[in-house]
């Protein structure tokens, strides 16, 4: 049976735990810097930086690769930390996984953070879908990481994103290959676009607070979705706008750290 790969960030012995779930093609370590700073300000909290199924070190999971399966995988993390997580923070693809986790476990969480993601279903598209199409057009093996970065740049990918994508490479005897399986990535993305989680936001289960964070320069959350979030469950669902692009952990980590450190439960 495959197991999730994760890293733990903590100061001393935390009394409560939060999970950080990255976006598609991402790894838990993408949020390490944010988590360390939050935990430094709120040392009663520990953070688990998760590689979701078929990402990073969490390989070998059996299909189907869905939002529901990715959320169900998280239950295994209670054993190594010795407690159920009280907060889940999900970015982009991870935001929908977080919402599905709350749907599956309605009485476990005190807070859920959805960072620049949407509960709405939609047609496949956007930057992640475009990246998948680009990756499928490239060779299976490369001589070096720099060759991968150059190939992505020639396909129109910005240098910072191309360099970040290259962190997903593994050195094999025949050269550099992607750690992830592109068919699994497509299956996960298709289910991400198809999954409707508005019921969780409209009427949060249990006593969970839901905090939705919109990146000011991102269009993932449409005006209609923003209005629906503003009108959802007063006192239980909160909308925050943070200056920056979709990758808020890189664009404006100070604001994300301040928001989490201030609003995490006592």
Q: What value, to the nearest 5°, has the Cα angle with vertex 128 and ends 257 and 200?
A: 60
Facing residues of 108 across strands? none
pLDDT in tens, 13-54: 999 999 999 999 999 999 999 999 999 999 999 999 999 999
- Express as a percent the part of the chain with pLDDT over 90: 92
Cα-trace Rg, the chain: 18
Average pLDDT rounded to a whole number, residues 227-233? 96
Q: What digits encode the pLDDT tens for the residues 46-93?
A: 999 999 999 999 999 999 999 999 999 999 999 989 999 999 999 999
- Rounded distance, CA 52 to CA 69, Å? 10
**pLDDT tens digits along 197-206:** 999 999 999 9
Mean pLDDT of 167-178: 94
pLDDT band at 1 (very low <50, low <70, confident <90, very high): low
pLDDT at 12: 87
What local confidence, expressed as pLDDT, does residue 200 receive? 98
Domain 5-121+195-263 has CATH 1.10.3720.10: no
**Torsion sign (Cα): 227, 233, 234, 239:** negative
- d(Cα 10, Cα 35) in Å, to the nearest integer? 9
With a cut of 70, say whether residue 177 has pLDDT above it: yes
Distance CA 212, CA 1 (A): 34
Q: What share of the chain is helix, strand, coil (3-state, %, to 5)?
A: 45, 20, 40
Which pLDDT score, from 0 to 100, does residue 134 have? 97
What pTM, to 2 d.p., does this model score? 0.95
Lowest mean pLDDT among 66-70, 76-80, 253-257, 261-265: 76-80
Is the pLDDT at 2 greater than 90? The verdict is no
The residue ranges of every structural domain in the chain are 5-121+195-263, 126-185
210 pLDDT more than 70: yes
Q: Report yes or no: 49 and 28 within 8 Å, Cβ to Cβ.
A: yes
């Amino acid at each position: 049976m495959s197991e999730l790969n994760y890293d733990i960030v903590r100061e001393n012995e935390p009394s409560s735990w939060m999970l950080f779930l990255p976006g598609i093609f991402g790894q838990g370590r993408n949020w390490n810097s944010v988590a360390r700073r939050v935990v430094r300000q709120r040392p009663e909290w520990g953070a688990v930086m998760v590689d979701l199924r078929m990402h990073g070190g969490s390989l070998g999971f059996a299909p189907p690769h869905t939002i529901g399966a990715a959320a169900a995988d998280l239950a295994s993390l209670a054993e190594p930390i010795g407690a159920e997580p009280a907060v889940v923070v999900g970015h982009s693809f991870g935001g929908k996984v977080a919402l599905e986790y709350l749907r599956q476990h309605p009485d476990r969480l005190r807070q859920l953070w959805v960072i620049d993601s949407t509960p709405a279903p939609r047609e496949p598209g956007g930057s992640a879908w475009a990246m998948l199409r680009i990756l499928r057009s490239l060779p299976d093996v490369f001589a070096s990481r720099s060759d991968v970065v150059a190939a992505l740049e020639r396909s129109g990918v910005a240098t910072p994103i191309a360099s970040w994508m290259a962190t997903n490479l593994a050195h094999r005897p025949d050269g550099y290959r992607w750690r992830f399986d592109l068919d699994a990535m497509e299956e996960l993305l298709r289910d991400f676009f198809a999954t409707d989680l508005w019921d969780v936001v409209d009427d949060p289960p249990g006593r969970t607070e839901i905090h939705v964070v919109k990146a000011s320069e991102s269009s993932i959350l449409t005006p209609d979705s923003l209005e629906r979030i503003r009108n959802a469950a007063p006192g239980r669902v909160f909308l925050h706008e943070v200056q920056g692009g979709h990758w808020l952990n890189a664009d404006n980590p100070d604001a994300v750290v301040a928001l989490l450190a201030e609003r995490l439960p006592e």
